Structure 1
Amino acid sequence: MSDAWNEGYFTDEGYTYSYSREINPVFQRYCLLLRGFASLETTDGYHCELGFGQGVSINIHAAANPGPYIGTDFHPGQAAHANALATAWNSDARLYDDSFEQLLARDDLPQFDSISLHGIWTWVSRDNQKLIVEFARRHLKPGGLLYISYNCFPGWSPSAPLRHLFRLHDRFATNTCVRPDQRIEAALQFSETLLAANPNYASAVPNLDDKLQGIKGQDRQYVAHEYFNRDWNCMYFTDVVDALAPAKLDYATTAVPLDSVAPLNLSAEGMDFLEGIEHPVMREQARDYFVNQHFRRDLYVRGANRLSAAEQRQGMYNTRFVLLRAAESISDTVRGPAGEATLQTEVYGPVLEALTANAYAPKTLRQLAGSVPSMPYDDLVQAITVLIGMGAAAPCQSEVAEKLVQARCNTLNLQLCKRALLSNKIQILASPVTGGGVPVSRFQLLFLISIKQGRKHPAEWAQLAWGVLAEQGEVLIKDNQPLTTAEENIAELTEQAEAFAEQSLVVLKALNIV
């Protein structure tokens, strides 16, 4: 495509259909509360996403949160997909294909409670970064939050020259008429051949070939947008702090709950060293060296206000939490930069038992504390935080907000289930309880269609799923081998449907998805 409108961004290949929980306002507010910061929580506040990709996250959040949504993605194909999905569930979200300059020129935009940009900052020009900052300066409310994620140093230092090599090959050594996937393959092959010739760079960077092999195994849509844009402005954390300062934005915390669990991230020496640094920005930058940070997910606030210890504790006690998967399927280990840790049975056993009580219904932290009265407050908060960090649990929005969005979540989820009849691109459903998305496989989406049609038995759900797959010439893969007969496929689908009935349905009901 011409650079006349895409400004060097790789638009020849659309982005993935992934979902990002970090853009969920409910999750964002929890991360701020966890670190002791106040946040806005209204049922009519506006939210904005800059660079929404295929629009999966913004549609999920526009359905599952009570406030109106506005967003832009300057790739017209992606904006068209996002709008088609929004139209299917009668959303009032305003989704544009404006550039940041065009969006900033609009005179019909409100003040926002939150502005989010996931995976955008690094891959746009410096001029566009300035436009983003100006947009936040003009349109983020006092007390509003900004979520931003980006590639960063020092973690990217060894691989940055490799990424530059991909881009150079695509720019100088490939005919632009060649298909995007072929251009990507050619650049990867060229880089592999270069490394095989033993340049000094390869000798200076350990495991560089393993890194390249890992990239070759990744989804090509992701690789295209991660490695092949013209602009790539990797920064240190403090560079971004300085860049956002003109918008009156204060760094608050990361949108990574596990970052608050120090032993998962740091050695004893690292914890002692960081404890001696008084300035929070300097301490955070130094921490990036200890964990070798390569990608940050950060929350900034326009006028950050600290909560008192009592206010924070009350906020935590009043917050509801819910499991996102069956307790028996939750791993007993968790991994962080400092290594792997085993969840203590004496702590997590009672917490999981309390969360599963009453058919997995959401519980406030106060209710959980009542169920495990002998557990200290800090241990309980850490256990919940770890489960959220693992993706096994989630904070919930208020019951008032939940009721406001239930009907439109139902409408969106029906459309997403129908899409599973033809495609496996989107495997997520909206929960009015969490305000966000819940991963659901394509097969499970097909099982839900069967349930909505009145079929009560897993064997019936499996038959419908197999009918869809067989018509499209698809088969299941088991133990890395395709299942070749209808009987084998139906047997495997029946087994999965039975597991879905026994484990997943109760969770989806608690999340008010079923």
Structure 2
Amino acid sequence: MSNAWNEGYFTDEGYTYSYSREINPVFQRYCLLLRGFATLETSDGYHCELGFGQGVSINIHAAANPGSFIGTDFHPAQAAHAQALARTWNSDAQLYDDSFEQLLARKDLPQFDSISLHGIWTWVSRDNQKLIVEFARRHLKPGGMLYVSYNCLPGWSPSAPLRHLFSLHDRFATSSSTNPQQRIDAALQFSETLLAANPNYAAAAPSIAAKLQSIKGQDRHYVAHEYFNRDWNCMYFTDVVDALAPAKLDYAATAVPLDTVDPLNLSAEGMDFLEGIEHPVMREQARDYFVNQHFRRDLYVRGANRLTASEQRQALLNTRFVLLQAAESVSASVRGPAGEASLQVEIYGPVLEALAANAYTPKTLRQLSAAAPSLPYDELVQAITVLVGMGAAAPCQSEAAEQQVEARCRTLNLQLCKRALLSAKIQVLASPVTGGGVTVSRFQQLFLISIKQGNKRPADWAMLAWSVLGEQGEVLIKDNQPLLTAEENLAELTESAEAFAAQSLVIFSALGLI
């Protein structure tokens, strides 16, 4: 249903309760450091998120980072959820349901160290994009960073007409009183029927039928916001560079560490071709053609300052890293646009062993270098970059910053675990070590509650989890089949609790989650 306040944005379905690591200031600074850029790091700075959805990420980051957080999401139900979560841990985060125009009109906003907008730029009008740029021009500090993600060309070229078809069907062919999920399903069915009639478009885009089938299998909350907004401005990278220029923003890097590992992304011919392009913006745009980029996660800096090679090296050597999973469970391969590559045992074996040493406590790159002296510096940096890019490891904030936020992370995490007693909506906890979120399943959150109650045996943790699930009429799924008896469910939960005790507890401790 279209209301005057929603400006064509699909507000009938709330957004997902997901977490985005790219909005974490610690992660953003690491991505910029990888590319050799200086960044701001203050203990009392301000950070802003525009369009925070259900508020999971902004609450996690407000707890896990020094400084203060301000954000807005003009969907009032989402803003209310974010505010309610913030109140549970006594957060000082200022979370509004302002439009971008209303936020820009405020006279009480500070200068920000960072401004982030994830999944916003493409789905708002050109007028709202201009308001975002003006907001950054007024409120981003010199040296501050802006993160923006967006759908882009050329990767979206085949699918853009399909998305347009969804939006048109929702606008003209369904009743505004129809259930939102029914409206979405009707648009998907209409599009499938259209493709089955063999239009020339389907022949020109032979993969589009498979794309539609993929969309049909996705979460309807995500599909609503990805494909059903009235505004959808898909741009080339250079279009966004031009749009942000009035805010004195310089493109610096992507928030995708694996993008720095060229062999994962480009053929030998592609690397040779791009090497011959001198201008960084032109080179980055040409690169999008080689990888057929359809979604970008970009970092801009207001007044980008380059570090010298020695400054960058020292900063990286002083950066701490931590594993997010058991060393033995890290995948032996990694995939990029150029294909799959195996992680060389002689390189990654010593690095993983060093990261796992001393109960997985964080290690500086300097410490990792000392633990694996046979590895050249460049190979070590690339190995860590790949592990971070895979989500197997994470950069850490300073120990001083970690200590500053430990108490409020504990408070937020307790509240999130209590929510797991009722639902599985939020499956992430705040780490004072990484400054960001760590995936923690509902079962694991229930195990943590049992541990906090003083229970030491996995069987007891499983019993608490089953008491919660059983009372709510829920059962576990194993081998695609529901477990029908209490004994079966309890046995499966006990097995999960024992694995949690053997593999996850030590890592969660190193991450400051317990």
TM over 0.5: yes
Partner of 2:351: 351
Partner of 1:62: 62
Partner of 1:249: 249
- Helix, strand or coil: the match of 1:273? helix
- Helix, strand or coil: the match of 1:47? strand
How many Å apart are 1:71 and its aligned residue?
0.2
Q: Which amino acid aligns with 2:505?
A: L
Output the CA distance in 1 between the equivalents of 2:390 and 2:494. 28
Q: After superposition, where does 1:453-464 map in structure 2 within 5 Å?
A: 453-464=453-464
Say yes or no: does 1:437 pair with 2:407. Answer: no
Partner of 1:106: 106
Q: After superposition, where does 1:331-342 map in structure 2 within 5 Å?
A: 331-342=331-342
How many Å apart are 1:20 and its aligned residue?
0.1
Output the CA distance in 2 between the equivalents of 1:471 and 1:182. 31
Say yes or no: does 1:89 pair with 2:104. Answer: no
- Helix, strand or coil: the match of 1:146? strand
- Helix, strand or coil: the match of 1:359? helix
How many Å apart are 1:489 and its aligned residue?
0.6
How many Å apart are 1:164 and its aligned residue?
0.3
Output the CA distance in 2 between the equivalents of 1:337 and 1:482. 37
Partner of 2:46: 46
Partner of 1:330: 330
How many Å apart are 1:328 and its aligned residue?
1.4
Output the CA distance in 1 between the equivalents of 2:330 and 2:206. 34
Query: Runs of 4+ in structure 1 displaced over 4 angstroms?
Result: none
Partner of 2:321: 321
Say yes or no: does 1:238 pair with 2:241. Answer: no
Say yes or no: does 1:422 pair with 2:428. Answer: no
Q: Which amino acid aligns with 2:507?
A: V
Q: After superposition, where does 1:131-142 map in structure 2 within 5 Å?
A: 131-142=131-142
Q: Which amino acid aligns with 1:367?
A: Q
Output the CA distance in 1 between the equivalents of 2:475 and 2:398. 42
How many Å apart are 1:448 and its aligned residue?
0.3
- Helix, strand or coil: the match of 1:154? coil
Say yes or no: does 1:36 pair with 2:36. Answer: yes
Output the CA distance in 1 between the equivalents of 2:61 and 2:325. 20
Q: Which amino acid aligns with 1:228?
A: F
Partner of 1:482: 482
- TM-score (norm: length of structure 1): 1.00
Partner of 1:397: 397
Output the CA distance in 1 between the equivalents of 2:240 and 2:15. 25
How many Å apart are 1:280 and its aligned residue?
0.2
Output the CA distance in 2 between the equivalents of 1:373 and 1:342. 22
Output the CA distance in 2 between the equivalents of 1:274 and 1:457. 57
CA deviation string 1:318-350 (max 9, x = no partner): 000000111111111101001111100000000
Partner of 1:274: 274
Q: Which amino acid aligns with 1:148?
A: V
Q: Which amino acid aligns with 2:428?
A: I
- Helix, strand or coil: the match of 2:18? coil
Q: Which amino acid aligns with 2:136?
A: A
How many Å apart are 1:266 and its aligned residue?
0.4
Q: Which amino acid aligns with 1:328?
A: E
Q: After superposition, where does 1:130-279 map in structure 2 within 5 Å?
A: 130-279=130-279
Output the CA distance in 2 between the equivalents of 1:187 and 1:117. 28
Partner of 2:466: 466
Q: Which amino acid aligns with 1:491?
A: A
- Helix, strand or coil: the match of 2:146? strand
Output the CA distance in 2 between the equivalents of 1:42 and 1:206. 51
How many Å apart are 1:3 and its aligned residue?
2.9
CA deviation string 1:157-191 (max 9, x = no partner): 00000000000100110001001000000000000
How many Å apart are 1:2 and its aligned residue?
3.5
- Helix, strand or coil: the match of 2:465? helix
Q: Which amino acid aligns with 2:431?
A: S
CA deviation string 1:403-454 (max 9, x = no partner): 0000000000000000000000000000000000000000000000000001
Output the CA distance in 1 between the equivalents of 2:251 and 2:207. 34
- Helix, strand or coil: the match of 1:243? helix
Output the CA distance in 1 between the equivalents of 2:67 and 2:51. 19
Output the CA distance in 2 between the equivalents of 1:204 and 1:242. 31
Q: In structure 2, list runs of 5 or more residues that go unmatched.
A: none
CA deviation string 1:113-132 (max 9, x = no partner): 00000000000000000000
Output the CA distance in 2 between the equivalents of 1:299 and 1:315. 19
Output the CA distance in 2 between the equivalents of 1:338 and 1:208. 22
Partner of 1:501: 501
Output the CA distance in 1 between the equivalents of 2:273 and 2:442. 47
How many Å apart are 1:74 and its aligned residue?
0.2
- Helix, strand or coil: the match of 2:370? helix
- Helix, strand or coil: the match of 1:335? strand
Q: Which amino acid aligns with 1:202?
A: A
CA deviation string 1:379-399 (max 9, x = no partner): 000000000000000000000
- Helix, strand or coil: the match of 1:122? helix
Q: Which amino acid aligns with 2:376?
A: P
How many Å apart are 1:207 and its aligned residue?
1.6
Q: In structure 1, list runs of 5 or more residues that go unmatched.
A: none
Output the CA distance in 2 between the equivalents of 1:391 and 1:2. 39
Output the CA distance in 1 between the equivalents of 2:385 and 2:480. 35
Q: Which amino acid aligns with 1:271?
A: M
How many Å apart are 1:206 and its aligned residue?
1.7
Output the CA distance in 2 between the equivalents of 1:329 and 1:85. 33
CA deviation string 1:214-263 (max 9, x = no partner): 00000000000000000000000000000000000000000000000000
- Helix, strand or coil: the match of 1:71? strand
Q: Which amino acid aligns with 2:106?
A: R
- Helix, strand or coil: the match of 1:69? strand
Q: Which amino acid aligns with 1:216?
A: K
CA deviation string 1:90-109 (max 9, x = no partner): 00000000000000000000
How many Å apart are 1:211 and its aligned residue?
0.3
Output the CA distance in 2 between the equivalents of 1:350 and 1:181. 50
- Helix, strand or coil: the match of 2:143? strand
Identity %: 85
- Helix, strand or coil: the match of 1:438? strand
Output the CA distance in 2 between the equivalents of 1:3 and 1:421. 35
Q: What's the C-alpha RMSD, in Å, of the aligned pairs?
A: 0.5
Q: Which amino acid aligns with 1:312?
A: Q
Output the CA distance in 2 between the equivalents of 1:370 and 1:328. 21
- Helix, strand or coil: the match of 2:71? strand
Partner of 1:310: 310
Q: Which amino acid aligns with 1:152?
A: C
Q: Which amino acid aligns with 2:254?
A: T
Output the CA distance in 1 between the equivalents of 2:317 and 2:328. 26
Output the CA distance in 1 between the equivalents of 2:379 and 2:475. 46
Partner of 2:363: 363
